[in-house]
């Protein structure tokens, strides 16, 4: 699930930022970056400063990513949940494009209704002895309540714009935003609860073993303040917990 979702998320992300998908097959994605995206992702500030000072247009790089671990070859960059590149992309979305409102681009001379969807990408983080992140893209139809997964992948096949197209009109939501977010939250909580939580049990076991070692090291009454300080650090390090974080999202008006 994670690999498929990640690949679709990346396709939609680069397409939305007007980057050409030069190669997209079997877990390998090669993208021709725009100047704006090169500046955002490739960490070449001195190059762009120099090239602009010389009056040249510059040469944005191509970025090749592998989302399928079985395709790793040492030549292309393997991107996965928890990788620095994915965190960089998520941070870019956080800083520049966390929330939006877009309309499906439709060329028509007849009146067409556009229906509101609440679509969001949410990062689920599992923290304990080991760390794991996954991104889930989920959409909620704000009129009939239908919910879909991998919505970012579906949006990749639609043209979107900032203004409503001619001859189109919007249908008012029946479900309020707060209620919509609560529905999505409930679905994700059920998804997390249904998973195997051996990782949390392992974290708790390791935490108790580490605490026992500390208590054994410090004799009773011997520097109790330092002992409690070390125990608190162990609890912070190993106590298992799960967080939800909205990466980005918005209201998308789509043809029914």
pLDDT tens-digit profile of 121-179?
898 999 998 888 888 999 999 999 999 998 887 887 888 888 899 999 999 999 999 99
Question: Is 117 found in the same domain as 90?
Answer: no
Q: Which of the listed residues 65, 97, 129 is the one where a domain comes to its end?
A: 97
Which of 4-13, 17-26, 64-73 shows the lowest per-residue confidence on average (mean pLDDT)? 4-13
Give the pLDDT score at 3: 43
Give the pLDDT score at 233: 93
Mean pLDDT estimate for the chain: 89
Q: In which band, very low, low, confident or very high, does the pLDDT at 216 lie, cut at 50, 70 and 90?
A: confident
Give the pLDDT score at 240: 94
Question: Is 250 found in the same domain as 163?
Answer: yes
Q: What's the token pair of residue 210?
A: 């580490």
Question: Is 163 found in the same domain as 73?
Answer: no
Q: Which of the listed residues 65, 82, 97 is the one where a domain comes to its end?
A: 97
Question: Is 244 found in the same domain as 180?
Answer: yes
Question: Is 173 found in the same domain as 141?
Answer: yes
Question: Is 145 found in the same domain as 64?
Answer: no
Q: In which band, very low, low, confident or very high, does the pLDDT at 2 lie, cut at 50, 70 and 90?
A: very low
Range of the structural domain that residue 235 is part of = 100-256
Label the pairing between strands 28-32 and 20-25. antiparallel
Residue 246 pLDDT exceeds 50: yes
pTM passes above 0.75: no
Residue 221 pLDDT exceeds 70: no
pLDDT > 70 in the chain, percent: 97
Give the pLDDT score at 126: 92
Give the pLDDT score at 6: 84
For residue range 198-213, list pLDDT tens digits in order: 999 999 999 999 999 9
Which of 93-97, 185-189, 213-217, 218-222 shows the lowest per-residue confidence on average (mean pLDDT)? 218-222
């Amino acid at each position: 699930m994670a690999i498929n979702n990640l690949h679709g998320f990346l396709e939609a992300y680069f397409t939305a930022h007007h980057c050409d998908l030069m190669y997209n097959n079997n877990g390998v994605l090669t993208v021709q970056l725009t100047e704006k995206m090169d500046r955002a992702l490739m960490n070449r500030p001195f190059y762009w400063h120099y090239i602009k000072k010389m009056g040249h247009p510059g040469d944005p790089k191509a970025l090749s990513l592998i989302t399928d671990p079985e395709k790793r070859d040492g030549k292309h960059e393997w991107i996965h949940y928890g990788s620095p590149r994915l965190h960089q992309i998520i941070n870019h979305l956080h800083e520049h494009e966390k929330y939006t409102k877009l309309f499906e681009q439709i060329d028509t001379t007849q009146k067409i209704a556009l229906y509101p969807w609440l679509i969001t990408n949410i990062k689920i983080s599992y923290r304990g002895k080991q760390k794991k992140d996954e991104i889930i893209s989920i959409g909620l139809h704000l009129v009939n309540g239908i919910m879909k997964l991998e919505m970012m992948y579906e949006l990749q096949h639609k043209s979107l714009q900032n203004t409503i197209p001619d001859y189109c009109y919007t249908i008012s939501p029946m479900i309020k935003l707060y209620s919509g977010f609560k529905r999505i939250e409930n679905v994700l909580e059920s998804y997390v609860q249904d998973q195997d939580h051996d990782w949390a049990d392992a974290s708790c076991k390791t935490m108790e073993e580490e605490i026992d070692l500390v208590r054994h090291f410090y004799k009773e009454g011997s520097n109790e303040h330092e002992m409690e300080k070390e125990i608190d650090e162990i609890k912070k390090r190993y106590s298992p917990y799960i967080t939800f974080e909205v990466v980005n999202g918005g209201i998308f008006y789509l043809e029914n």
